[in-house]
Amino acid sequence: MLKDGGIFLIGMTMAAVLASCGNQAESSNSGSSGTMDETAADNTMDFDKLTAINPDIFAWIYVPGTGIDYPVAQNMDGDDTYYISHDCTGLKKDSSGGIYIESYNLMDMCDFNTVIYGATTKDGDMFSDLWNFADENYFKEHDTFQIILPNNVLTYEIWTAYQRDNTDVLTQYDFTDKAGCQQFLDDMKKNWNTKTNFREGWENGVDPDNFLVSLTTTDPKNPDKQWVVVGCMIGDAAGNIDRDTLEIEE
């Protein structure tokens, strides 16, 4: 059954956050502490301070009820591997990396599918909480996440969590073409198995006109596979998301 997702007006005191942003909050903290004992529900985010420290950061991701409460970056030099080995300040090398999107995606979140990457290490951090969505009850109880932009809050319904081959969907599919978008959705369903979770009512409810975010991490025990938690946009607080700017071909 679909649940209503609340919109959180979200913020952070960024100087404190970025001082040690590579650290992970406790994975079962129900979103109460967030990053560096700050929560995205504090409504104190200052993107001016954030980008003064690292101009690559353009957004914040918050998954209520989990430890995922992080800035999101895109390397301005087009190096899609940079945040695999650097923390969110962009200055410090860190094997846990940062949360990031590749240069194929737009920072305004208007793509059909925005892929947000984060690491799972043997110690468990960054996107390690995504693995909890393999549990059916956990999946049912955690139904939304937010992407916070400087002037907007976007809410996504989590509609599926599944495993796929560790390939880059942004080079594998043409998301500027509706046929490419549909092919991605069709292929996704081919990967569904007994370990897949999807929310009731969404089996056939996504099409190329939707806006998706795929939260993606690699299995450290099986690096040939990805674990993906996919959300579909259900809330656009500022009304800024416009597919017309993409010129997706029929």
DSSP string, 189-218: HHH--TT-EE-TT-TT---TTS-EEEEEEE
How confident is the model at residue 19, as a pLDDT? 43
pTM of the entire predicted model: 0.84
Residue 116 near residue 58, CB atoms below 8 Å = no
Which of 228, 222, 241, 248 has the alpha carbon at shortest distance from 169? 228
Q: How do the pLDDT tens digits run along the chain, 250 residues long?
A: 333 333 333 333 333 444 445 444 333 333 333 443 345 766 667 788 878 888 999 999 999 999 898 899 999 999 999 999 998 888 888 888 899 999 999 999 999 999 999 988 766 678 999 999 999 999 999 999 999 999 999 999 999 999 999 999 999 999 999 999 999 999 998 888 878 998 988 877 799 999 999 999 998 888 899 999 999 999 999 998 886 654 555 5
The DSSP code for 135 is S
- Which residue bears the tokens 């946009």? 233
- The 8-class DSSP code of residue 136 comes to H
Is 232 within 8 Å of 206 (Cβ atoms)? yes
Paired with 62 in beta bridges are 69, 146
Domains of the chain: 14-238 (2.40.260.10)
Tell me, what's the pLDDT at 133? Answer: 96
What is the spatial distance between Cα 113 and Cα 5, in angstroms, rounded to a whole number? 20
Structure tokens at 235: 């809330």
pLDDT score, position 220: 81
CB 100 within 8 A of CB 107: no
Alpha carbons 167 and 16: distance in angstroms, whole number = 35
Q: What is the largest CA-CA distance in the chain?
A: 47
Among 162, 235, 145, 146, which residue's Cα sits nearest to residue 198? 162
CB 52 within 8 A of CB 71: no
pLDDT of residue 15: 39
